[in-house]
Amino acid sequence: MSETATFTSGAPAPVSRDHGIGFGEAVRVWARIAALSFGGPAGQIAVMHRILVEEKKWIGEERFLHALNYCMLLPGPEAQQLAAYIGWLLHRTKGGLVAGALFVLPGFIAILALSFVYVLLGQTPMVDGLFFGLKAAVLAVVVQAVIRVGSRALRNGVMRGIAAAAFVAIFFLGAPFPLIVLLAGLGGYLGGRMGLSAFKGGGGHGSSGGTIVHDAETALGEGLPDHARPNLGWSLKISSAFLFLWLAPVAALLLLAGPATPFTQIATFFSQMAVVTFGGAYAVLAYVAQEAVGTYGWLQPGEMLNGLGLAETTPGPLIMVVQFVGFLAAYRGSTGLPPLAAATLGAILTTWVTFLPCFLWIFAGAPFVERLRGNKALSAALSAITAAVVGVILNLALWFAIHTLFGQVRRIAFGPFAFDAPVPSSLDLPALTLAALAALAVFRFKLGMIPVLLGSALLGAVYMLLS
């Protein structure tokens, strides 16, 4: 293999050097990052940047942001994929597997334990109050997400129009989330190919500021490791292996159990979700809620908020909320197994088909990632998708608010439009009070997400014990 590679800019890549980072040391660092991965993707990416770039100086600013931009083009949790990408860059396939798996493991264990608590003790006043408080606080967190993502993505009238169209499509027309993503991405791609200024890419998660650590100043340096050079044969082999690991259990369930059993429905639904989860967890939750509540009847609307509260207060990707959904789907389904055993298998199956494709995208595509540099059409497609996601998250916030603050809703339809409207007389004043206090803490006093969620849960427990 040659000592140079060619970037899309045409400049030869410098010769790589031995970074000298031991695999055992890397495992300890990835475990530390996983334990600190609270706060959603923005907070998780900031933790990785601080430790890997600023503190350890394993990789530089340019390489970190380039890897992040690639991960933002992919379906799935971008922070977990970024960890797998950098782990692969440093220590080949085993490094990517360890980094990506450790990023998920603490959250999986925590949510599994809390799911057991939920189904076994959820009817006690104290536990019921904790989840009551969490639901109210999550409303404020989701509204904050709308504002945060919107301020970055809606830079002009075209992007605001895409966001508005996405909201109307999903809230009033019930359009599926994958279709919204597809149309937005296609429109952005065409706009980028035409050179329209409104579709120029940008934004995303920037660095935390301060002194920039350049690639040349880091352990990995500016060079491209030999294993990171494009190799079509290796990419085909690794893709085949991960496709088999991902889809073989799904195919086995379809053939042996049939399409209508709970485990098969979990496997097929979350496998489908794994390839359309552009735009982050908040956007995906609208799609999951739409299907899990409305189509499959796995759980109630308020329980989606319970799951989101669990994911918000545990380390790891926010999309781990789907594990809670899979747990309840199997727990309540007719599986022929004891409910808790079925629920545990449902949680494992959901996590497997949700996160295993993330490794496929990284290992198959990362060696070719340099070919995406400077691709204006792909950047424009991402910008349009991000704008549409703002409308989808707004739908999520409104959907959560209606089902949390009101005890009853009624369906209103006119022509092709239909939506759930709250019944004013069913307003839940304690839930409204807690949501208002959480919003005050978030927007007025700028408190962090974890203190707000824990404080609201405590207030909810106190209220239930006293009522």
pLDDT given at position 87:
95
Confidence of residue 13 (pLDDT cuts 50, 70, 90): very low
Q: Average pLDDT in the 356-361 region?
A: 93
Contact 207, 65 (CB under 8 A): yes
How many C-beta atoms lie closer than 10 Å to residue 316's C-beta?
26
Look over the chain and give the mean of its residue pLDDT values, rounded to a whole number.
84
* pLDDT per position as a tens digit, 158-194: 999 999 999 999 899 988 777 888 899 899 999 989 9
Higher pLDDT, 457 or 283: 457
How many C-beta atoms lie closer than 10 Å to residue 77's C-beta?
28
Residue 247 pLDDT > 50, yes or no?
yes
Contact 133, 140 (CB under 8 A): no
Q: Average pLDDT in the 436-446 region?
A: 92
pLDDT given at position 441:
93
Q: Average pLDDT in the 417-433 region?
A: 93
Nearest CA to 135 out of 465, 461, 467 is that of: 461
pLDDT given at position 180:
87
Q: Which of 41-50, 97-106, 323-332 has the lowest mean pLDDT?
A: 41-50
% residues pLDDT > 70 (the chain)? 89
Tokens of 377: 């059409």
Contact 71, 139 (CB under 8 A): no
User: Of the segments 280-284, 324-328, 373-377, 379-383, which one has the largest average pLDDT value?
Assistant: 324-328
Q: Average pLDDT in the 192-210 region?
A: 66
pLDDT given at position 46:
76
Q: Which amino acid makes up residue 307? A: G
SS (H, E, C) the chain: CCCCCECCCCCECCCCCCCCCCHHHHHHHHHHHHHCCCCHHHHHHHHHHHHHHHHCCCCCHHHHHHHHHHHHCCCCCHHHHHHHHHHHHHHHHHHHHHHHHHHHHHHHHHHHHHHHHHHHHCCCHHHHHHHHHHHHHHHHHHHHHHHHHHHHHCCCHHHHHHHHHHHHHHHCCCCCHHHHHHHHHHHHHHHHHCCCHHHCCCCCCCCCCCCCCCHHHCCCCCCCCHHHCCCHHHHHHHHHHHHHHHHHHHHHHHHHHCCCCHHHHHHHHHHHHHCCCCCCHHHHHHHHHHHHHHHCCCCCHHHHHHHHHHHHCCCCCHHHHHHHHHHHHHHHCCCCCCHHHHHHHHHHHHHHHHHHHHHHHHHHHHHHHHHHCCCHHHHHHHHHHHHHHHHHHHHHHHHHHHHHHECCEEEEEECCEEEEEECHHHECHHHHHHHHHHHHHHHHCCCCHHHHHHHHHHHHHHHHHHC
pLDDT given at position 88:
93
Higher pLDDT, 201 or 223: 223
Q: Which of 13-27, 179-193, 250-264, 352-366 has the lowest mean pLDDT?
A: 13-27
% residues pLDDT > 90 (the chain)? 40
Confidence of residue 214 (pLDDT cuts 50, 70, 90): confident
Residue 466 pLDDT > 80, yes or no?
yes
